[in-house]
Amino acid sequence: MKKIVLIVVLLVILAVGAIGGLSMFGLGPFPNLVNSFKSSDPKPVVEQPAEAKDRVFDLGTFIIPLVSKHAIGRQVGMDLMIVVSAEAALRVSGELPRLQNAMLVDLYDFVPLHSDTHSAADKEAIRQRLVKVGSRLFGEGAIRNVVIKSLYDR
């Protein structure tokens, strides 16, 4: 009886593997099964604001370690989005990694001075600083706003 159950289980595994393998190549009973789970854009662009033709880009999560006494005492995390003018949207979207790097480098210097995650003043100071970083890279008015979706301690 154990041998029969083992053979049936192995046949089911073989059949599922064969169907999965065939669907990888667009063949078999479910040709679009695997392709329906794939996404063409790993970071989708967030919806557009209604009041203007500005574009919104999700920058992701930034984690800044705060060092005290030669060890990481805590970490400050933040989820960021930027609002970009319509004229500069194409240029900014092409250089998004460069903008993310410039913001991260600047945050390593600035966040230890403004690391209270519950303070509205510190959050506003960080937001203004990131707008200045974007303005340095792309010119005045290109980066209209930086939205800090969340600011938290880890």
pLDDT by residue for the chain (154 residues), tens only, comes to 888 989 998 898 988 888 777 776 667 666 666 555 555 555 555 555 545 588 899 999 999 998 888 888 888 999 999 999 888 888 988 889 999 999 999 999 888 888 787 888 988 999 999 999 999 999 888 899 999 998 888 7
Of the candidates 123, 124, 113, 57, the residue with the CA atom closest to the CA atom of residue 86: 57
AA letter at 101: N
Q: Show the tokens assigned to 103.
A: 């913001």
Q: Show the tokens assigned to 130.
A: 């990131």
